[in-house]
Amino acid sequence: MKTPASESKFVWLLFGVIGGLGFAYLWPHEPAYAVATDRDAKFALCTVEVGPGSPDAVFVLDFLTGRLTGGLLNAQAGAFTNFWYANVGEDFKIKGDKAKFTIIPGSGFLNAPGGGGQSLATGLIYVAELTSGKVGCYRFQYRNQAEASPPMELMPVNYFMFREQQPTR
């Protein structure tokens, strides 16, 4: 025989579970966004958001040459179809192995026309260099097509100084 106290506990447990599920369902959901960045002694790699429905682009910064290259895997073709490049060593006026770079992706839509069947990516690439004390921002355009297009130059957006330039030895 069940007592009224034990039935009451079960009813309150049931109300609590139903109430908790209802509250969790109605609470605004925040999507989790993740980008990847990794580095080694001689290069760094990062992924950058391209646009809705597109995979992220991948960029590699070679510390020895100061060259930043990237590619986009086309979802329909299953192959890399968009390619980019920039000589950040020249942009930062740093030569050879004296450069100390770091790279990180960002997101933000900058007002600029695409044109020529190209769309402006929603991702940005930030590169910093220690000896010059400079941070640069790059953006890029892409084409959503199955055929590979020729490499395009990354577009520098702007730079700022985060410290005084250090003398090179």
Residue pLDDT, tens place only, 60-94 = 999 989 999 999 998 888 899 999 999 998 998 88
d(CA 122, CA 107): 6
Report residue 156: phi and psi, to 5°: -65, 135
Counting the structural domains of the chain, the total is 1
Residue 157 belongs to a domain: yes
Place of tokens 């942009």: 91
Q: pTM for the whole thing?
A: 0.75
Closest C-alpha among 67, 70, 112 to residue 94: 67
pLDDT digits (tens, 9 = 90+) for 108-119: 877 765 556 688
Query: Which domain, by its residues, includes 148?
Result: 37-161
Confidence (pLDDT) at 96 = 64
Classify the C-alpha dihedral 110-112-117-118 as positive or negative. Answer: negative
Residue 66 belongs to a domain: yes
Residue 1 belongs to a domain: no
Residue 78 belongs to a domain: yes
